[in-house]
Amino acid sequence: MKEDLKSVVIGVEELIDYQAGAVVSREIIRKETGTVTIFAFDKGEGLSEHTAPFDAMVQIVDGEAEITISGEKNLLKKGEMIIMPANEPHALHAVEKYKMILTMIRS
């Protein structure tokens, strides 16, 4: 799906599909000031601990995720969000398959 999404009404969960044993991503907006990306994680998949130079907001749109920030585990479900602070180590793990929107704001 490469079409322009501007001014188009679409269900968030329809923007990306799950793939068995994989993490899939789709960038929705890319600007100099930041990005918005949707991810789909199959159960048991994740992203290992890393840091980012900017604050990042994660919104869970389906399923359940464990997001660890600076060693503190947070369990998030559909409809919940968390802000991962810049330069703090964080990791993501799919407790069950889940989809999330990641919004990064450069500052």
Spell out the residues 6+ positions from residue 1 whose beta carbon is closer than 8 angstroms to its own.
15, 26
12-105: CATH topology is Jelly Rolls (2.60.120)
Digit-by-digit pLDDT tens for the chain (107 residues) are 456 788 888 888 889 999 999 999 999 999 999 999 999 999 999 999 999 999 999 999 999 999 999 999 999 999 999 999 999 999 999 999 999 999 998 87
Separation of alpha carbons 90 and 47, rounded Å:
9
Using alpha carbons, select from 49, 47, 5 the residue that is nearest to residue 24: 47
pLDDT of the residue at 45 = 98
List strand residue ranges (DSSP E) for the chain, in order: 23-31, 34-41, 46-50, 56-62, 64-69, 72-77, 81-84, 90-94, 98-105
pLDDT of the residue at 3 = 67
Please give the structure tokens belonging to residue 86.
């810049």
Task: Give the domain ranges of the chain.
Answer: 12-105
pLDDT of the residue at 5 = 82
pLDDT of the residue at 7 = 86
